[in-house]
Each structure stands twice: as structure tokens, then as C-alpha cells.
Amino acid sequence: MSCIHYKFKSSLDYNSVTFDGLHLSLTDLKKAISHQRRLKPGEFDLEITNAQTGDVYKKGDELIAKNTSVIVSRVPVTRTTASSTQKSWEAFKQECAKVVRVSVVTCGPT
């Protein structure tokens, strides 16, 4: 049984998550910690940092080796609904702008 030790940034001591195998992916680790602490997925996300190197694990499929110590931070998740519609609107505007530019170039001076 391998384990990964984790500690919430504001707390004093470490707990561990046990699993089979040599490493755990980031998403699996987050799920295991949430399950162990009875955290229902809600308005927050867990930011996992390596305790020794200080690197933040970003990609969900990044693998964390067993016996690593990590620091967990609970961070609020920004409401993506508003910003995603904003992003798609911006993207749409840019698309339109590109089309206009192209057409201007093609109909050059006669």
C-alpha cells in the first residue's frame, strides 16, 4: 500500500491518502482527499503543491509519486458561467474582425 502525505496549508499536521501502485494522478489525488475529508465538490477547488520543491501541480493527468508530501490549499472557484460566455463573445468578435480584415484586403484598389 503506497501513500501520499498531505497537509492543508493552514493546519499543523499531515494526513495520508493510501492507494495501490507507484503514483497517483492529480485528479485522483484530489478526489481521494475530498473523500477523506468529506468535502463535497462545491464552490472550491484544491490546489496541490509539492511540499519540498514548491511546484504547483496544474494538469489533471500529472502523476504524483508515492511517499510525496504535498500541501493542499482550498481556493474558491470563480464562477465560470459568466466568464465563459464573455470568452466566447470575445472569440466571436475576433472571428468577425478577422473576416472583415480579410475581405478588405481582397478588395484592394481597383
Partner 1 sequence: MASKRKTESQAPAEESDILQIKPLGAGQEVGRSCHLLEFKGKKILLDCGIHPGMSGMASLPYLDMIDPEEIDLMLVSHFHLDHSGGLPYFLQKTPFKGRCFMTHATKAIYRWLLSDYVKVSNIASDDQLYTDGDIEKSMEKIETINFHQEVNASGVRFWCYSAGHVLGAAMFMIEIAGVKILYTGDYSRQEDRHLMCAEMPSVKPDVVIIESTYGTHIHENREKREHRFTSLVHDIVNRGGRCLIPAFALGRAQELLLILDEYWSNHPELHDIPIYYASQLAKKCMSVYQTYINAMNDKIRRQITMSNPFVFKHIINLKNMEQFDDIGPSVVLASPGMMQSGLSRELFEGWCTDKRNGCIIAGYCVEGTLAKHVLSEPDEIVSLGGQKLPLKCSVDYISFSAHADYKQTSEFLRELKPAHVVLVHGEMNEMARLKAALMREYENDPDYKMEVHNPRNTVAIELHFRGEKIAKVVGELAADPPKQNNKVSGILVKRNFNYHIVSPKDLQSYTDLAMSTVSQKMSVVFNGTASLLAYYLNQLAGDIEYLSSEPASSRSSFSNLVIQVFGSIKTIQLICIIACHNHIHVCFSSIHINNSYFIIILIIIMNMSGKIVIIIITTTIIIIIIITNGYLSINISSHTNRGEKDKNCHWQYKIVEIVESGVAKVNHI
Binding residues vs partner 1 (CB under 8 A): 8-12, 37-40, 42, 44, 72-76
CB closer to partner 1, 74 vs 101: 74
Closest distance of CB 23 from partner 1, Å = 24
* Residue nearer to partner 1 on the CB measure, 42 or 108: 42
**Least distance from partner 1 to the Cβ atom of residue 1, Å:** 19
71: Cβ–Cβ under 8 A, 6 or more apart, which residues?
6, 7, 8, 9, 48, 49, 50, 51
Q: Residue 87 — left, alpha, or beta (φ > 0 → left; ψ -120 to 50 → alpha)?
A: alpha
* CA–CA dist 57, 26 (Å, integer): 7
Kindly state the smallest distance separating residue 82's Cβ from partner 1, in Å. 12
* Residue with smaller CB distance to partner 1, 35 or 101: 35
Contact 19, 32 (CB under 8 A): yes
The number of beta carbons lying within 10 Å of the beta carbon of residue 42 is: 9
Q: How far is the CB of 48 from partner 1 (least distance, A)?
A: 11
Please identify, using beta-carbon distances, which residue of 79 and 110 lies nearer to partner 1.
79
